[in-house]
Structure formats: C-alpha cells, structure tokens
Amino acid sequence: MAPDGQVVSGLAGKWRAGATSFFTRRKGYAWGPRGATNAVAGRPERIVVSVVPQESTVAGLLLTGGVNIATVTGPDRARLTGHDLATAQVPTVVGLTFFNERSGRPLNDPVLRQALVGVLDRKGLANVAIGGDGTPASHLTAAGSVCHTDVAARNLPSHSAVAALGTAG
C-alpha cells in the first residue's frame, strides 16, 4: 500500500471506497481471451481504477469527464441518456438466494425450496435490482465467455413446483 493509503495493486484484495489502483501494462503479455496480446496498437500503458461506491457520483463523473468508463445499473442511467456516451449492455447476475438447509429447518426440504424459487417473479426482481430495465438472467456468465452455459432453462424450477409442494403435503 502506498503511504497515502491508496491501494496500488488490484491483487492486494484491498478494494474499498475511495481506493485507487494502478495497473501497468506488462511487456510481452501473450495470454488473453481468444489469443489477445498487449502488442496491439492503442493498448494503454496504464489504467487507473477508482472505487466510487455511489452510482449518482459515478454518473456525475461520467457527465463531467472525470472518469472514462463506469458501470451504472440503477436509476442514474436515465441521467446519462442523451449525452452522447457510448453504452454496452452487459448481463449482470444480481442477488443470490441462500437457504438454511440444516436438519430440522423447514427449508431442508428440497420440494419446498423448489416451490419457493418456482414462484419467484424473476422479471420483477430483475427490474427492482436494475432500476426498471432488468432482464432475468439465464446464465451465470456473459454469452461468449469461456464458461458460458444456459443454466436457467434446465435448472430453474417451473411454477409446477407449487403443485409438487401440494402433492408432497
């Protein structure tokens, strides 16, 4: 860590509000997605990453030129419309559901867990999480990535899980 308390390496695992990390291009880097290297013209010598936890602040920095790239997923996206900013729709998996499956707990029953997940309004949850423009995830990674697979189609329970719950008593 630098004397001023800033994180100078993303590998340090010290991401926190207000921290800044500096990444310097490594000469000869030759491993990347689809064979990417850093020998291509236009690759930056250095990237500075700042941790700004408030999306409204990030949106303001985008509008004033204080940052070059940022992720804005909530209602502040509306402020950015019409300002000639490039955008990219990036699939994002938000929220996780954990069940207490210990012995003696109600959610130890897999039929009950399937019924609970089966009745979720996934579109509604996505809209709440992304400020009204969400789409339910069908995968855990972006399409085209090395580990991409459509997990929703074959793993998410259908609303018939509620019927199964009734049958199970």
Q: How much is the pLDDT for 94?
A: 61
DSSP states along the chain? --TTS----GGG----TT-EEEEEPPTT----GGG--S-STT--SEEEEE----HHHHHHHHHHTS-S-----STTHHHHTTS-------------------TTSGGG-HHHHHHHHHT--HHHHHHHHTTS-----SBSS-TTSTT--B-HHHHS--THHHHHHHHH-
pTM, full prediction: 0.52
Q: How much is the pLDDT for 141?
A: 63
20, β-bridge pairs: 50
Tens-level pLDDT at each residue, the chain (169 residues):
333 333 333 344 556 777 888 888 888 888 777 788 888 888 888 888 888 888 899 999 999 998 888 888 778 888 999 999 988 876 666 666 788 999 999 899 888 887 887 777 777 877 777 767 777 766 666 666 666 566 555 566 666 766 777 776 6
Q: How much is the pLDDT for 3?
A: 36
Q: How far is CA 104 from CA 14, 100, 108, 109, in A?
A: 39, 10, 7, 9
Q: How much is the pLDDT for 2?
A: 37
